[in-house]
Every structure is written in C-alpha cells, then in structure tokens.
Structure 1
Amino acid sequence: MARPKPWEVSDELWAVIEPLLPKVERRSRYPGRKRLDDRLVLHGILFVLHTGISWEHLPQELGFGSEMTCWRRLAEWHEADVWQRLHEVLLAKLRAADALDFCGAAVDSSHVRPFKAAHKTGRSPVDRGRTGGKHRLITDGTRIPLAVTLTGGNRNEVTQLVPLLEAVPPVRGKRGRPRRRLDVVLADRGYDHDKYRRLVREHGIRPLIPRRNTERGSGLGTQRWVVERAFALFHHFRRLRSPWEIHDDMHEALLSLGCALICWKRLASPRRKF
C-alpha cells in the first residue's frame, strides 16, 4: 500500500474540514467554468505549505488547479475564519481526549527572514538589523500550539506577551463553560518586566519568568522545551520557515493552518512522539 503524501488530506481530516468551508452556490445564469473541487485545491495549498515553493511554481499536472485558484481559495477561507475554527475544533477534540495540559503553558518567539518585504516586518536586533518578522507562539504543557501571532522583528518580546495570551481561543470539549484561562505561563528572561508580570496576574495567570542579571539555573528550561519543540514542528513546514508572502494575512493564514495540522497529527497519533 502506497504511503500517502504529506499534502494529501485523509478522509478523516476532510470530514472535519468540509463542514467549515463556506458554501458557494453556482450561478444559474452565465455560470462560467465549474468551480474546482475544494479538496483538490486544499491539496495544492498543503503542497505549497510543505515544500515551500512559490505559488507560480505549483505543478498543475498534479491536479491542484492553477496557482491563482489555490491562492484565492486560501484567502477566501482565511477571511471566513476557516483555519481558526478548524484549530478550535481540533483543540476541543484534544481536550475531550484529555490530551491538553493548561498547567504549564510556555511562550517564545522565533525570527524568520522573509524573501519579500511585508507590512509586519522590521529591522531585527538579533539578525544584524536585517528586515524580518517574528512568529510568537504559546503552547500547552505538551507542545500543542494554542495560539500563534505574527509581528515585526523589531517588536520587543515582553510587549507581545499579553496580546498572545488574549489570542488563546476558548477551548470546548468538556461539559461546562469553555476553558480559556491558563494556570501558569513560562517564559525566558526576555519577558522579564514587573509591569507585564502584573498584567499577566490580572488575567488570573501565574507568570514564571526568571530575572535578568541573575545566576542561570532556574530550572524552567526543563519545562519550557515544549515551545522549542513546537517551533521545530512549525518550521517543518518549509513555507513557514522561509516565507514568500507579501500580504501578512496570507502568512497568517498559513500559520493558522500549520497550527491545525499539528493538532491533527497529535489527535491522529496520540502515542507518537512527533
């Protein structure tokens, strides 16, 4: 039996995605060319996400349709919040399976250098002043991404901590009210600031952040490794590691899709250490 390609959508995953896609009725008068099947277009989007090739080099002989079809469909679905809702659905399934840990959330950021300048870029102090962006990620205690944001590379780490916490969606999956509040958030010394510690506490979350200019060996590294592992999973998608997008919303669409795919891999293989 042939091994499925990483950009091919399984029947189980498609059963989750299909109800979330907006329904487009074909016009009765002057219908024009028939709309390409959504599943084939999604294959093309995932092909770009996994391989990192530019849209214009998308191989049409694989049946994905034209590059503009995939690009427009990605933008259309992102505008309809398909990827965000897919992420929330999968988080709910993980919570129902007791696969989420809200007791040890971790935050960090990763610098990426885009091939083309976008609005959410800036001169990075850690990359010789080159223009770049940052992926800012918060995970649960088992390296499942809860939220990811995109900012310029010149934005200070600590100023983005509260917006990242507020980006965590309410997670359903169990009886009662959806859960959104984390118990603890772990971060490195780049997030050391008393003002933001206070703001985190006002959200009902306990911050665990080591102080600057203190001796190393806080022990938090043994717990914060989950966010580093999550970044490795994100950058397994070559398009996220080396982005080509000029429009920030397209980059954010691929980030949200990457979140959902990581959640799905964990849900489909709960015992696998991916």
Structure 2
Amino acid sequence: MRRGELTDEAWAVIAPMLPDPGGARGRWRDHRQVINGILGKLRTGAPWRDLPEHYGPCKTCHERRRWTADGTWDRILATAQVHDDGAPVQWTVSIDSSIVRAHQHAAGARKKGGSPTSPATPGTQDGEAIGRSRGGLSTKIHLAVDGRRRPMSNLLTPGQAGDNPPLLALLDAIRVNEPGPGRPRKRPDVLIAGKGYAHDSTRRALRSRGIRHVIPERSDQVARRTAKGSNGGRPPAFDKATYRKRNVVECCFNRLKQWRDLAARYAKRASLYQASLVLIAAVIWLP
C-alpha cells in the first residue's frame, strides 16, 4: 500500500457502497485500484495523463467521475460518518471559509448549449463557483467541521463572495445518519463561528432553529450598541472557553490542503471539485 491509498479497514467500510464489478454495465476495473488512482492524483496534483501506470488507464480513473452525478461519493461520506470507530460525531460544530486560487485550466468551462464566452453571472465564470478579483481567479470553500476536526458539509462560492450568506445552506447540508432508526441528525449542539458571521439576522435565524451559537461581536457593533446607552440592549451571550475550540476548522482546512489538487483548483466544473472535497472528507473520516 502506497502513501495516501485506502487501508484495508477503510476499504472494508466503503466496498459495499460501490457498484457490483460484474454488474449490468459490464466488467468494471477493480474499484479499489481506481479509487487509489484518484487519490494519487488528488495527493500530488498531477495531470491525469501523468498518473502512474500501476493505477491502470488514466482515462478509466478520469471517467469514474460519473459517480459524482449518481451520488456515490456522497453515499461513501455518509457511510464513513456513521462508521463505528470509537470516535462518534462531536456536535460542537465550527464553520469558516478559505480561498483557493483557481488555475488557468479551471477557467472556461463550456455551458450546456452555449460557448465558453457566453454571458455569465457577474463575478463568476459560467456559474462554476469561480470569482474574479484583484488577486485573479479563485474559489471559496465553506466548511462545517465537528469537534474532532472532521468535515461534515461543504459548499463552494466564487472567491469574492462573503462568508455569511451561505451559512444556513451549509447547516442544511449536514445530514448524519446516526446508528439506529430515525431521521438523519442535522442540528448541532453548539455552533462556533468568527466575526464574519456576526449579523443580527444570522443570530435570529439560529435562535429560531434552536441552535446555541458562539459568535463574537464586531467592534463596530459594540460601538453602535454602546453609543445607544441603555437603549442599546445587552450584548449577545459569548462563551470564551467554547470559542477557543474554533481552531478545529482551521486544522481541518490544513488537512484538506495537504492534498495538492484541493490546495489549488484545476477542475473546470464546480461539481467535480466539490466531489474531490467529498472524497477526501470521507478519507479523513475512515480508519
């Protein structure tokens, strides 16, 4: 087993989630070999054509992207999150975002029925979560992480987008099928976020969902409330001890960006780049 490949324990968990190698589509190449090839490409950031021969034809690994559309990668992550490895989900959830530079190869994705030069949403490249700013092309990853530094959900936006608008959608994307009957759990015990999420509307939305949150006030909010005197109301509750645990999301970003294909975006399609994030998230959860 080479560095970054699936361990025997990890393979035993995800193998039942994959199509039958001899199923209706004909004889598939060994799934484990192909997934290890994809992981090798994500680890090194090499072009598909430079994939080592021991992973099989590079075209086979590249075309296995069809699992993005049928939800196979999502099912693998969902299975990994409930795997009983002695470290259950810790529902103190931290959220944050990080920007990755988009390589020039990521630009110019063709629209269906259009051309690479077709009009796009302002600030984006054909709606593929690529933004253009003074720093060039970039994508922003929004991430929710449990208390053990493991990714629970992710979203992509153009690099110049704000942190706060995708917050509720990021929380809605959390779905953990805990062992036993019942619906997937979505609501964290505590949500920890930075000052970029310190909006009154956000606090109201979290309170309406019954989510306890630890978000510090921005300096301008403190000054505005203080200037109003007794009419400014009380400051929102803030637990400093809990807020110190927010670094887990930074640690998770650090782990994700050890995979060079995630540290810089080469994929033209946002769906394919996000599928890579989902696969690496599953690897982090697996033993």
Which band: TM-score by shorter chain? Answer: 0.7 to 0.9
Q: CA deviation at 1:146?
A: 0.8
Is 1:235 aligned to 2:257, yes or no?
yes
State the number of aligned residues.
249
Q: Is the 8 A contact 1:234 1:258 kept in 2?
A: yes
TM-score by length of 1: 0.83
Instruction: For 2:3, give the aligned amino acid.
Output: P
SS of structure 2 residue aligned to 1:135? strand
- Which whole-Å CA distance do the structure 2 matches of 1:227 and 1:83 have between them? 22
Aligned-pair CA distance for 1:68: 1.9
- TM-superposed CA distance for 1:83, in Å, is 1.6
CA contact (8 A) 2:81 2:285 kept: yes
What SS does the aligned partner of 2:102 have?
Answer: coil
Deviation at 1:130, TM superposition (A): 2.0
Secondary structure of 1:71 counterpart: helix
Counterparts of residues 17-36 of structure 1 (less than 5 Å): 17-23=14-20, 35-36=28-29
SS at 1:107 equivalent: strand
One-letter code aligned to 2:52: P
Residue 96 of structure 2 corresponds to 108
| Candidates 170, 179, 195, aligned match of 1:173 | 179
Question: Is 1:195 the counterpart of 2:201 in the alignment?
Answer: yes
- The counterpart of 2:10, out of the listed 13, 16, 40, is 13
Match of 2:148, SS?
coil
**Structure 2: runs of 5 or more not aligned:** 108-124, 224-237
Matched, 1:85 2:75: yes
Specify every segment of 5 or more residues in structure 1 that has no aligned partner in the other structure, as ranges: 269-274
State which of 274, 283, 286 in structure 2 corresponds to 1:252: 274
Distance in 1 (alpha carbons) for counterparts of 2:167 and 2:24: 47
Query: What TM-score comes out, normalization by structure 2 length?
Result: 0.79
Give the superposition deviation at 1:242: 1.6
Structure 1 partner of 2:62: 71
Indicate the RMSD between aligned Cα atoms, in angstroms: 2.4
Instruction: Report the 3-state secondary structure (helix = DSSP H, G, I; strand = E; otherwise coil) of the residue aligned with 2:217.
Output: coil
Partner of 1:50: 43
Quote how far apart the aligned CAs of 1:174 are. 4.4
* Greater CA drift, 106-115 or 18-27: 18-27
Q: Distance in 1 between matches of 2:174 and 2:23?
A: 36
Larger Rg: 2
Q: What amino acid maps onto 2:76 in structure 1? A: L
Name the structure 2 match of 1:272. none
8 Å Cα contact 1:186/1:209 also seen in 2: yes
- Aligned-residue identity in percent: 35
